[in-house]
Amino acid sequence: MSNHSLDRSRQLIEQYLSVRQLTTDICQSLEKEDLSVQPIADVSPPKWHLAHTTWFFEELLLVPYLQGFKKFNQQYSLLFNSYYKSAGDHWLQQDRGCLSRPTVNEILDYRGYIDNLVIQLLQQNNPEPEIQSILEIGLNHEQQHQELLYMDIKYILATNPTYPAYSNLPLAKSHGMKQSWKSFAEGLYHVGHEGEAFAYDNESPRHKHYTYPFKISDETVTNGEFLSFIDDKGYKSPNNWLSQGWDWVNSNSICKPLYWKQINGEWFEYTLHGLQPLDLDAPVVHVSYFEADAFATWKGARLPTEYEFEIYLQQTELKPGEKQATSQVAIYHPNNSSQKVGQVWCWTKSHYSGYPGYQTFKGVLEEYNGKFMCNQFVLKGGCVNTPKDHYRHTYRNFYQPHQRWMFSGIRLCKDH
């Protein structure tokens, strides 16, 4: 191997190990009992994430590219394939919490086994472009699951009425900011990903989009503002709500964001730092599309389109984690409504679908994004728990309109 390909191999191995390590680190402060719980279908047991991210490298990288590869366990594909129909049968998502076996220790052994073989593959091959490309997708996939782990761990711990904290680090209180609006002129703008750096298939191709004049809030909606909506009977007034939203509110008795609790007349919010008094200046988080839209209607505003949002984001270089990194204290909960990115994923009013000329990844990965382009909305901007080097302004997160266990918030927009 030439020096150049040795360096490349070393670099890939280092990247691989650092991403894989972070996943196990996220679970480090949990107890073993926390790792197998599945309170609702959307929330997977943390140990399933540990195994599924490993299965991804096994199935997509080692099976096709490592000669003589033997699976750790033939049955794991059934258990830990998530939804890739072309990779064979898979266990139902809502039944992941029924699996007491394999144990956490067996899953950690599985991770170790696959890690050693991936390293062997990267050392052996002057890695072919195809191997490098699948490795890159596998690492980005694992980073997506790191954020999912924070979401799922939060839901699991919040389901417990003793409200155990994930982190004992104190959460800094946020400071009030005056709302201001940023105006953008009518015109043709470019949105979407271009260039050699990694991006998911759904971010391409970069293309032109004609936008009418708009102004967008420079701050995300705060808990205090959302409390005014509640106090003004926002959840009780049908004229604020989309028809499906009104049905959702009533059939599920929704009257507050997911993790808000009212105790003896005082508002609290469950965070990964434990149950905290509601910080009125912090961004509102864990709201559904229905709630975001109803709040915007009540405010005489609207949600931005994903195009407007991306045009707005193009004005900043900031990435999630950069602000937090300077404080040297891990913050797992949004506390700055004036930060443009990396606090809460903001709902847009854009339906999630392919850009003009969209093409899916090839092979098994054809199923990665394209098949979810139905009945979901795009969210932009990243959140406190989005891995720092996983974020791009072109990133298109997507969820169904009733979902709210992700770190979802609101940025308002208006026509000029």
Cβ closer to Fe ion: 82 or 223? 82
Question: CA–CA separation, 370 vs 358, rounded Å?
Answer: 9
Give me the residues paired with residue 260 across strands: 269
Interaction residues for Fe ion, span 166-225 (CB under 5 A): none
Residue 14 C-beta: closest distance to Fe ion, Å: 23
Give yes or no for a cis peptide into 205 (omega within 30° of 0).
Answer: yes
CB 82 within 8 A of CB 48: no
| Three-state DSSP state, 248 | helix
User: Both tokens of residue 177?
Assistant: 């900011």
The residue whose Cβ lies closest to Fe ion is 82
Q: How far is CA 281 from CA 288, 337, 390, 399, in A?
A: 20, 7, 27, 26
Residue 320 C-beta: closest distance to Fe ion, Å: 20
User: Both tokens of residue 286?
Assistant: 């864990």
355 to 374: interface string for Fe ion, x by CB under 5 A: --------------------
Give which of 111, 106, 130 is closest to 20, Cα–Cα.
111
Residue 219 region by backbone torsions, left for phi larger than 0, else alpha for psi between -120 and 50, else beta: beta
Cβ closer to Fe ion: 152 or 281? 152
Cβ closer to Fe ion: 267 or 361? 361
Strand pairing category for 345-351 and 408-409: parallel
Question: CA–CA separation, 253 vs 233, rounded Å?
Answer: 14
Residue 176 C-beta: closest distance to Fe ion, Å: 39
70 to 109: interface string for Fe ion, x by CB under 5 A: ------------x---------------------------
CB 41 within 8 A of CB 94: yes
Q: How far is CA 54 from CA 44, 74, 140, 292, in A?
A: 15, 14, 13, 35
Residue 52 C-beta: closest distance to Fe ion, Å: 6
Cβ closer to Fe ion: 38 or 82? 82
Cβ closer to Fe ion: 16 or 309? 16
Cβ closer to Fe ion: 139 or 413? 139
Q: Which amino acid, one-letter code, is at 256?
A: K
Size of the site for Fe ion (CB under 5 A): 1
Cβ closer to Fe ion: 82 or 397? 82
Residue 148 C-beta: closest distance to Fe ion, Å: 8
274 to 293: interface string for Fe ion, x by CB under 5 A: --------------------
Q: Where are the beta strands (DSSP E) in 18-173?
A: none
Residue 53 C-beta: closest distance to Fe ion, Å: 7
Cβ closer to Fe ion: 80 or 166? 80
CB 313 within 8 A of CB 393: yes
Helices (H), 180-333: 223-231, 243-251, 289-298, 306-313, 322-327
Residue 23 C-beta: closest distance to Fe ion, Å: 12
Residue 141 C-beta: closest distance to Fe ion, Å: 6
160: Cβ–Cβ under 8 A, 6 or more apart, which residues? none
Cβ closer to Fe ion: 133 or 144? 144
Four-residue CA torsion sign, 97, 100, 105, 107: negative
Residue 38 C-beta: closest distance to Fe ion, Å: 16
Cβ closer to Fe ion: 52 or 319? 52
Helices (H), 167-236: 223-231
Helices (H), 58-128: 63-65, 76-80, 104-124
Residue 367 C-beta: closest distance to Fe ion, Å: 10
Binding site for Fe ion (CB under 5 A): 82
